[in-house]
Homo-oligomer: A and B are copies of this chain.
Amino acid sequence: MAIFSKTCEYAIRAVFYIAHKTANGGRVGIKDIATGIVSPELYLAKILQDLSRKGLISSYKGPNGGFFIEPTSLSKPLSEIVEAVDGDSLFYGCALGLKQCSEVNPCPLHNDFKAIRDKIHLLLNTTTVGEFNNELMNGLFSLKK
């Protein structure tokens, strides 16, 4: 099992792609994004529509339309993308899937995994959508399979 669902992997990669492509204005079409991150175009379209509906990215219809990210949205934390797609069980759920697991009724792994979850949460809370734009433009980071 991976940390994120495939849907979430596509979502994060697409958001990074859109961010660095439209940081200086303009829009980027779905075909461009799908090629840029190597993902199934029509499936990705659904994911981006969902993120757009939730206000995490923006879109513009018509000729020269496409997706983009508002400059102010570049500072949003990645945790919002993850939570929108995969929910918050990665941040708050019990590792052993126990609904009743808590401080007063812990599973054996409760304390150790709480520490891990907190680290993941902190990392995604402090990583922003636009923070890798320079490296992505310079080709220092990869978004392709």
Contacts and interface: CB of A to CB of B under 8 A. Distances in A.
Given A16-B108, A123-B116, A141-B107, A3 B98 contact: no
Given A141-B107, A142-B107, A4 B1 contact: yes
A89 B2 contact: yes
Interface residues of A, number: 44
Contacts of A113: 3, 123
Interface string A102-119: 000111111011001001
SS class, residues of chain A in contact with chain B: loop
B127 A95 contact: no
A52 to B, nearest CB: 20
A69 interface: no
Contacts of A8: 1
